[in-house]
Structure 1
Amino acid sequence: MINYRRSRKWQILYFLIGGILILSFGFNIWQTQRAQDQLKTQYVTSNTPTIFLHGWSSSLRSEKDMVSAAEVSGAASRRMIIHVRPNGKLKVTGTIKKWMVNPIILVRMDNNRAGEVQYAHWLTKVCKMLKQKYHV
């Protein structure tokens, strides 16, 4: 014989647990959406550029997704690409102006396996050039 009273208690318990799970899942989705909306509206607007430098044995393609996401969201815009040749010469494409908001500068090392010491030397050269020519 089935104990209906006991079966009814289990049904209520399962219903309560399921309801709590559904409510907590919905609250989690709501909180996540709210946090994303706040992030979209809280960008720092500045004329100070952000420099993106790829890593060891890499190229500008490794930075493409991050820069594209910043451009699509309206947080920043790609303004300049600096190619550092293996002999240390700099080739600049694009420009930086004082009125530009959140500009992005991409730095590409043509010799992408030169090592940290050489990277530091070249990056210092890039920063000095930006300071002298563009007052950044």
Structure 2
Amino acid sequence: MKKKYSVLLLLVIFIIFSSLFFLKNSNTKLRSNEFVQSTTPTLFFHGYGSSANAERHMTESAKKAGVTETIIQANVDRKGQVTLRGRIPKGAINPIIMVQYEDNRNPDYLQDAAYAKAVVEKLKQAYGFQEMKMVGHSMGNMSILYYLLEYGSEENLPKLTKQVNLANHVAGLENWNLPSNLTLDPQTGQPSAMNEQYQKLTGLREVYPDKQIDVLNIYGDIGGNTDGSVLNISSKALKYLLINHAKSYKEVKISGRGGQHSRLHENSEVDKLLIDFLWRK
């Protein structure tokens, strides 16, 4: 009798675990009716002093939503050597690459751009990608913008089709290099003053690919027109750099507690914005 009950107990346990496994996999199944079924990769770039962990909430949200089943990591050392952790299967739908810089406190944006280029070249060499999408948080935006400034015209590199700028600080940071009493032209977005960093980025107005890239600029406001680290006016100054050549340009403000600088990459509202913009049909 005891043996019979033991067998029944094992059977019940097996059924429970099988059901849980099925539910887990059904929840992460690709939703081809909702999202584009493309092999184009999306690269995520973290901010100053951060790591790929800061990208995880956003990337896992995309996976859980049924956007993709493939997330790998690209680690960049201080010499610009790239190591890929994980593998992108042939034909993988909407693969995601979480980029991590070992040299994650380098304010030399030209060097950050070189790191970004190294990742792009490694991915093209390994997988032959011809197009890509990019998402940057905080200083990760500078990796993307300076990459486009320095290398965006190189025809041998994959074409960028979508760009998300999250908590960018293109016009500078308060109490450091943000011009005082800064204002933006209500029509063009042109700043009333420009620091050296922004002046260099105005080169994007000449080299940014024409009508090729859809841009989503997300910034947070916890009150007082700031996300706690970056003033909204600095984030909104991105418009002047890109508006003339972007295929489309959209700004979204995240208000309240979830709009805090670091909370923006842990925010379900932001997750939905990214998923809809990058992948939804």
Superposed pair shares fold, TM > 0.5: yes
Unpaired runs of at least 5, structure 1: 1-40
Q: CA deviation at 1:42?
A: 2.7
TM-score normalised to structure 2 length: 0.33
Identify the residue that residue 107 of structure 1 maps to in structure 2: 99
1:48 aligns with 2:40: yes
- Aligned equivalents of 1:78, 1:62: Cα separation in 2: 18
Q: CA deviation at 1:102?
A: 0.8
The DSSP-based 3-state class of the residue aligned with 1:125 is helix
Unpaired runs of at least 5, structure 2: 1-32, 130-281
Cα deviation, 1:29-76, whole Å, max 9, x if unaligned, reads: xxxxxxxxxxxx531121111111111221112111111111111112
TM-score normalised to structure 1 length: 0.65
Paired letter, 1:110: E
Identify the residue that residue 83 of structure 1 maps to in structure 2: 75
Q: RMSD between aligned alpha carbons?
A: 1.7
Question: Measured at CA, do residues 69 and 50 of structure 1 come closer, stay the same or move farther in structure 2, by a change above 3 Å?
Answer: same
Cα deviation, 1:60-98, whole Å, max 9, x if unaligned, reads: 121111111111111123432110011211111112233
Contact conserved, 2:82 with 2:119, CA < 8 A, in 1?
yes
Paired letter, 2:65: S
The DSSP-based 3-state class of the residue aligned with 1:96 is coil
Write 1 or 2 for the structure with the bigger share of helix.
1
Structure 2 counterparts to residues 2-17 of structure 1, below 5 A: none
Paired letter, 1:128: E
- Aligned equivalents of 2:71, 2:53: Cα separation in 1: 16
Identify the residue that residue 129 of structure 1 maps to in structure 2: 122
Contact conserved, 2:70 with 2:93, CA < 8 A, in 1?
no
Percent of aligned pairs sharing the same letter? 34
Count of residue pairs the alignment pairs up? 97
| Bigger relative contact order (CA 8 A; separation at least 6) | 1
- Aligned equivalents of 1:67, 1:53: Cα separation in 2: 11
- Aligned equivalents of 2:69, 2:96: Cα separation in 1: 6
Contact conserved, 1:67 with 1:78, CA < 8 A, in 2?
no
Q: Detail structure 1 runs of 4+ shifted over 3 Å in the superposition.
A: none
